[in-house]
Amino acid sequence: MASGTSAGREPYDEEAASRRPLELGVRDSAPASASDHRSGNIVPRYQVGCTKADTSKRYLEGWHKKQSSTDDVRKSKSGYFTAFGVDLSPDNMAVAIVYFVQGVLGLARLAVSFYLKDDLHLDPAETAVISGFSSLPWLIKPIYGFISDSIPLYGYRRRSYLILSGFLGTLSWSLMATVVNSKYGAGFSILLGSLSVAFSDVVVDSMVVERARGESQSTSGSLQSLCWGSSAFGGIVSAYFSGSLVDAYGVRFVFGITAFLPLMTSAVAVLVNEHRLTPGEHAMSVSGSGFIESSIQHIKQLWTSVKQPNIFLPTLFIFLWQATPHSESAMFFFMYVSAQISLDSLQSF
């Protein structure tokens, strides 16, 4: 009996069942979840109201809609273009431009070398002394951090010092372009320019640290990529134009152009997102006891960090590496003299 009943039934064709039009709710308003027993065939529950293709299509449409809505939220929150994975907000643009200025100031490096050699007639030893003397501001960079954090100017710890650094750099290169005519004046002006770059470097580095604090490692790395990429781009620009400008217009002209570059640092300082201190906070910061207390606390924090082996050993290596003599000045004189000898030899023929 059971076998006869089974044999009397038509074999179930799933594909045909999926193509058969459904009449649920049209004929007797039966609930959509009920199974259809027409002609003894059972329609699976997942095929009621839609096919497999429809289900997949609706799922994909819903997923794309969800993704687009998520993208819209992200765009509405930032609303900025991105570079190296970082939103180019006004604050981040200020950081990038400061690093760009640091790189593009290399425009005057070749002009300084020719000025010391041809205009002031200094030998390689004297040139090396001036170059080493100009690097002194980079050796005391922690002091700039103490000053910036402890003595705000006009209520700002970052904006005011960036503006001051820009004006100081403009002053130094303006002196080189106009009134400097001795090795002592050149050494002093180059020292001021180096101080300007070193101070602005400390300030902008502190801004980068503040923005990277609490962020993921990828975000912090992207911010560092933006900074170093901007500096490298400035270095490429300066390397491309420095030689041709010196050859075509002379060193004084190059110093004059370089004097305008630090003004970019002063201009973008207004884009820095910084809370201005209230008069009470400002008075507490600039008071003698407040400054000493803050400086002592910063020195203790610095020593706690430096004495760790993973920081102390790399710092010692970098110190020994930078303390060894380098051949920059000697190589410049060697290359220039060799080129001059070759030129004289060709002219003799």
Alpha-carbon span 255 to 257, nearest angstrom:
5
Q: What is the pLDDT of residue 287?
A: 55
Instruction: Tell me which residue of 156, 266, 158 sits closest to 203, measured CA to CA.
Output: 158
Per-residue model confidence as pLDDT tens digits over 124-139: 888 888 888 888 898 8
CB 10 within 8 A of CB 22: no
- Across 213-251, b (16+ Cβ under 10 Å) vs e yields eeeeeeebebbeebbebbbeebbeebeeebeebbeeeeb
CB 97 within 8 A of CB 207: no
CATH code of 82-294, in short, is 1.20.1250.20
Q: What is the pLDDT of residue 72?
A: 38
Alpha-carbon span 308 to 297, nearest angstrom:
18
HSE-up (13 A, CA, CB side) for residue 174: 10
- Which residues are within 8 A (CB) of 167 and not within 5 positions of it... i.e. 6 or more apart? 262, 263, 266
pLDDT bin (cut points 50, 70, 90) of residue 3 is very low
Task: Extract the tokens encoding 214.
Answer: 């609490």
Average pLDDT over residues 115-120: 89
Res 157 pLDDT > 70: yes
Per-residue model confidence as pLDDT tens digits over 158-176: 899 999 999 999 999 999 9
Q: Which of 4-8, 111-115, 177-181 has the lowest mean pLDDT?
A: 4-8
Burial class (CB in 10 A: 0-12, 13-18, 19+), 157: buried
Q: What is the pLDDT of residue 33?
A: 45
CATH 1.20.1250.20 boundaries in the chain:
82-294
Alpha-carbon span 272 to 57, nearest angstrom:
48
Instruction: Reduce the DSSP state of residue 304 to 3 states and report it.
Output: helix
State which of 2-6, 154-158, 173-177 shows the largest mean pLDDT. 173-177
Res 247 pLDDT > 70: yes
Bridge partners of residue 82, in order along the sequence: 87
